[in-house]
Amino acid sequence: MTHEDWLRKAQALKIEGRLFIEGRYVDAQDGGSFDCTNPSTGAVLARIAQGEAKDVDAAVASALAAWNDRRWRGQAPRERMQVMNRWADLVEQHAEELALLETLDMGKPISDMLNIDLPEVLRTIRYFAECIDKVEGAVTHTAPGALHMILHEPLGVVGAITPWNYPMLMAVWKLAPILAAGNCVVLKPAEQAPLTCTRLAALFVEAGGPAGVFNLVNGLGPEAGRALALHPDVIKLSFTGSTRVGKLLMGYAGQSNMKRVALETGGKSPQIFMPDLYDLDAAVDRAVGGIFDNAGQVCNAGSRLLVHRDLQEAFTAKFIARTQALYQPGDPLDPATTLGPLASQPHQRKVLADIARGQAEGAQMVMGGTNVALPGTYVPPTLFVGHNRMAIAQEEIFGPVATLIPFDTEAEAIGLANDSVYGLAAAVWTRDLHQAHRMVGALEAGVVWVNCFGDGDMTQPFGGYKQSGNSRDKHVDSLLSYMQTKSAWFQVG
Ligand code: NAD
């Protein structure tokens, strides 16, 4: 489809902004709402129902009723698999609508929606659907006269709170294993980009998912999100978002019912470029993509480029040239666009302030800056040369801003990479296999890539060390994390 086709489709789009409880769309009980805006134009797209604590209560009560009468967990695994697969099929059938909604909502290029986010959403739902009847318990070796079984059981009502950078995908990384495990769920999507999640809930019911199993409450973090995190009937909370909010949620769990809290939080991922790396052009391309894809609004964005001093000059020149060739800002509805606006105006202000702070703290800005060429919430791809103790190298910017930090030795590179409160991901570029193994072992990160960046599939557990989180999305382990083990000990002789 052309740019004009997408613009035409956008005009005709019907947008749903209500809550979804007990299988149907409902308004917030107090009738409150907030604006949902298109970051590339500033236009108001829709009014979104502003759920509050009483709406969260209603959603949790609906999920708890569904849990108690076993309308989902009581179904045979095959039946639940069929519902999940039909859900994926419906998402696929609505791909254009969902892509359009998310592009309008948060500015992600439509090509990224169609080529990256949606295929990954489908893979995620289908992977966990497939896992449903593959999870097995155990019969352990015990003394004669005893039979001991270890059973995996779902947890109950799980709360999910998700961010705006990959709104649908981050939600599905939670929803798919939560539902596959047999739980009921209440989702609170990010208020900046709630439109696709709102559709996902209705599509689940259209696929045959029982009402009440998947409820959704739109609303603000400190109201609806906080109410969900404090709710005594929510047995586990699964969160993707900032480290600041992750810490609050642990507090809410302690103040309420000691619910389990699974956190996928921020990052400041280092990419280490050793002097013997195999192909500098390929490495630079991945460095550029690693920080400018999705306009840098990526938790594992490679925002710290640790470059051996011998490579620094060539690396920098190639990095600037490739950025200019590959990342020109444009209308995200144009299929040729690779760099959209940031997701909101407050976020644009924050990222521009971070760039100004980098200049103020003496980092050398070799590309980009604070001059925004287009209307809308754009930020130019920016590269600093600085050192690791600068705020721009320590704090998550969550925008198209990288800091290049030169080093001389492997030990220095490891020290710099690990000098961070975060530990989500890291990459090493080298042709020396022994060095690669050593460095993988030394890096404090949940994901380490060697001679690539951002690669993976559903078999890869994704999550962080240190203040990047305490859990893993994807992989069958994620499904097991939404279950609990029961030991059943029988006296049989
Ligand atoms: P955020 O923490 O501001 O918001 C995330 C969610 O938390 C939103 O739904 C928001 O409404 C809710 N929230 C805010 N305050 C709350 C409160 N007091 N109580 C309960 N809920 C509350 O994060 P964001 O700006 O939406 O997303 C960006 C962050 O997400 C970045 O730090 C990024 O690194 C992180 N992220 C991490 C991963 C990962 O897998 N580790 C993936 C994507 C994004």
**CATH T-level fold of 270-457:** Aldehyde Dehydrogenase; Chain A, domain 2 (3.40.309)
- Measured from CB, residues less than 6 Å from any atom of ligand 1 are 161-165, 170, 188, 190-191, 221-222, 225-226, 229, 240-242, 245, 248, 264-267, 299, 396, 398, 424, 464, 468-469
Q: Say if residues 218 and 228 touch (Cβ distance below 8 Å).
A: no
Model confidence at 267: pLDDT above 90: yes
Q: Which pLDDT score, from 0 to 100, does residue 22 have?
A: 98
Q: Dihedral (C-alpha) 193, 199, 205, 209: value to the nearest 10 degrees?
A: -40
pTM of the model: 0.98
pLDDT tens-place string over residues 410-422: 999 999 999 999 9
Catalytic residue among 120, 191, 264, 396: 264
* Closest approach atom of ligand 1 to CA 462: 40
What would the pLDDT profile of 119-173 be if each residue is shown by its tens digit?
999 999 999 999 999 999 999 999 999 999 999 999 999 999 999 999 999 999 9
Task: Identify the band that residue 276 occupies on the pLDDT scale cut at 50, 70 and 90.
Answer: very high
351 contacts: CB under 8 Å, gap ≥ 6 = 296, 342, 379, 397, 398, 399, 400, 401
Q: Where are the extended beta strands (E) located within 50-123?
A: none
In this predicted model, what pLDDT tens digit does every residue of 309-339 receive, in sequence order?
999 999 999 999 999 999 999 999 999 999 9
Residues of the chain with CATH 3.40.309.10: 270-457
Which phi and psi angles does 266 have, rounded to 5°?
Answer: -75, 180
Residues of the chain with CATH 3.40.605.10: 3-265+469-487
Indicate the pLDDT class of residue 472, thresholds 50, 70 and 90.
Answer: very high
| CATH class of the region 3-265+469-487 | alpha beta
Whether residue 102 lies in the annotated active site: no
Q: What's the mean pLDDT in 353-377?
A: 94
Contact 64, 159 (CB under 8 A): no
Probe residue for ligand 1, chosen from 265, 354, 394, 478 as the CB with the greatest number of ligand atoms within 8 Å: 265
